[in-house]
Structure 1
Amino acid sequence: MVTPFADRTRVSLAALTAAAVFVIDTFTRLQSAVAVLYALVLLVADDGTSRSRPARWAFPCAALAVISFLINHGDRADTDEVLRLVASLAAVTIAALLLTRNGHLREQVRASDARYETIFNSLALAIWEHDFTQVAAELTALRTSGVKDLEAHLRANPLYVAHLCSLVKITHANDAAMRLMGMTNGTRFFRRLSDFLPEEDSSFVEGLLALNRGSAIFETECQVRTAQGDLIPIFIAMRLPTDGRGYDRVCGSVLDLTERKRMEKNLDAARLERDEALHRAIIGGLSTSISHEVSQPLSSINAYLAAARRWLDRRPPDVAEARKVIAQAEHAGEEAAQVIAQVHDVVEQGRLERSLVSFDPLVRQVIEAIQSRQPIASLGVKTAAEGGYVLGEIHLLERLVASLIGGALSASPGLDDQTTINITTSADGSYVRLNITGSGSCDRAAPGLADPQPAHFSAGGMGLCRAIAQFHGGSIRVNGDRTDAGMDIELELPRACNGE
């Protein structure tokens, strides 16, 4: 910016220079084109802007050159003297034209800079500019000294990393960066990266490694310390020089992640509340189904004990038959204990932990367990969901599959060698499915399975299954539940693609 004092000083100096050239040209007998020195007047008068208008000085200088020529030579001038005058006037004219052109170019550059500064400061995205020149020189020195594993060297020398961080200068920052870092108008931005990047942050080491590799882009999440000392999470993206030049102008685009982190925290809290609500729903379903699932083995125990008492009351007592009945009562007691243990496992966990579960192996494992306990049932199994994973609680998923297959068996006739239940798994890009189909009606329940009710699920049993499916984001559809048509059950669970 040109001040009035500087402008007056420049004009005065230009006028003195013009007067000195005129005196030398007029009152000395130098055999040269002294008037060429009038070009100096234009250079002195130029203030670097188009406002100076060198033409305003060119005309007076040219007039002084002509006046000096007429005073010294008049009409007696020879050819050499005329040529010297013409050369002087040409020099002044060319100087004026060049200075005028340069003034316009400088004005265009200033306008472009002002436009860039306006855009730079009006962006909502925070941007600051780094100078990595000294850091690049340090990394080059390390390579020259024989350091081959730069990452190991940096990890082993945190003080040296802190030193490199202090070498990174912050040369420019826009208004959004000032607001992000809690700075008011008139406050200077941080001078060095170490002023606001915590020493314990490992992102700087990653940036040094990217710089050393010659990567074109470096992106990372880190934390920075504001002017008030608060730590805020940010995402920063930098375009790094790959040609060995431009280390003094490395811009970083910075996104404030505070709001996103807050939303993620709220989302995690909402998920926790949802999981706890579903857990309570499962416990409620369990409490409803316990009476249904335990009542059959308890009733069987009472019946077996009554039969044993009758065998023992005979004269003579039939001890062998009594022992058989007591063994059956023990088996029924074990089934009741298993139900109680499963319920206890779910309740004891308090918070259900999810993991990636391969669906087909889980289904095959449940089927093997059922067939070992119910060998007379023929299960047609076709697992085609290889590679299909479910994100869930494995014990609940096993319980769910076993309950659905048990319900289908309960709805099948007789459970003899002619009984067939078709079990099919499949998967697409979004879901993993289990289809269970059977036909006919039921005369009695499958002992030891999840739902002891004949011909259909009990309210508690189906409620528990639906609660477990909903806990995993899935659903259950029962397409048929008629006495003469058996059951057609479809379980659908969200797929965790490729086990991820």
Structure 2
Amino acid sequence: MSQGLGQGGSGQEGFRRGSLGQVFSRWPSLASANDGSPAADALPAWMLSAHRRRWPDLVEDGAKAVLAVLVPVLLVGWGLAAGPPASVAMAGLLVAGVLAAFLGTLHVARLRRALRASEAQFSAIFERAGISMWREDWSAVGEAIAALRLAGVTDIEGYFAARPSELRELCGRVLIKDVNAFTLEETGAPDKAAFVGPLDRLLPETDQTFVQWLVALGRGDRFFRSEAHIVRAAGQQSDVLFTAMLPRERAEFCDLLITSLDITAYKQAQARLAAAEGDLARAARSITVGAVSASIAHEVNTPLAAIAANAQASLRWLKRPEPDLAEVTAALEDVVSEARRARDVVARTRSLFGTASLALAPVDLVEVAREATLLAERDLRANGATVLITADPDLPPVTGDLVQIEQVLVNLLVNAAQAMAGSSGRRDVAITVRGDPGAVRVTVSDTGPGVPPEQRARIFEPFHSTKPGGMGMGLAICRSCIDAHGGDLWLDDAPGGGAAFHVRLPTACRSPA
């Protein structure tokens, strides 16, 4: 199941490759996440538990009852063979054995009744609960994750980011065994057959969060909660919040109890609110741009008019039969003065809309990349794009403005998703975070058609857009932001085709230019 996938805010500690930090969840839990292991790479407790077959007490007590009967019978047989005196003693033992067997049978009956009552109580809770509940078998996943951890793999997410086919295959080995009646009522499914079976039937290709369950299991978390979108029987997608207590022993993987809450209507309301806020913001920007444009035009037109007038006067003085060089010199000096005035107007405008007041602080680019995927999730899903994140372990923070860097990555992610909108193949967006000397580099690459060579020289210019109806300001603003941080933003070809945008930012020990 699932972009947690990610968390909604920055209050939760981000996951760091190789360090087995907190799982990145959109709905962070207040429950303790780990098993208290002192070492970050220590194996979780459930991997150290032996493969025990947990026999019910009923079977154990039944075996005791059988032995209580067999032992006296064997002793009586031996006594009869030994002679009459021993037979009397053995007869007493036989009576005691029969009595013990009778009492054992009564105990077994009580256990059976208690077991049936317990099963009935669980069934009542499961079927009559006012929330959707699922029973799932994650045994294959538990064995696979244990094998990886025992082989020394600590970066579970990075491992599967490089092997998406293995991730999908493992998702198909999770078996949904049962769902309760409320699940059918809530989803409108005709029967449980719509859900029972492999999990990958319900998770679309754009799911971002199944791997986070694997990360939580690999670290031994006690509790996990995440938001996913699943495909219903009719084909429509629903947003669901899943919660589960994770196994503490290997035997518990065969019967995982998971609850789900349909938050589709809530998400749609959020989307409508965001759209309304976006429309309002665009209207406010249009009004602001119009006012600023009128102000700039007024400020610049005045010195330009003066420049034109003085230039024309200079030409007239020069065209006289006897040029008046003193007047020409004075007019040209006025031209220079008015040109400087126009330059100052432009400089003031740039400082007004520039990035002179950056809120500088240490920034974890892995965490920023995760947050950016959450902010861009709606556009990613709308274009059928899947995000894969890989990062080097123990990367140092960079110095920068968190909000501006986040917005740059959001813009690059949305551009990548839109570039693949018409693609018939896989629509993968890869985010890689790597360490460079004195810097950290984030690369956002896609599997789209790429950028034609004739457009690359102008792609970062203002008002140049490759998208119909685009304003052509996104990449120009992105480069301006990165330049203000003393970093670099450039474009390359992606290894498998498509475009790859690189953002390189200095580490915290350096200051932006």
Common fold, TM-score beyond 0.5?
Answer: no
As a proportion of its length, which structure holds more helix?
1
What TM bracket, shorter-length normalisation?
0.3 to 0.5
| Structure possessing the higher relative contact order (Cα contacts under 8 Å, 6 or more residues apart) | 2
* TM-score (ref. length: structure 1): 0.42
TM-score, length basis structure 2: 0.42
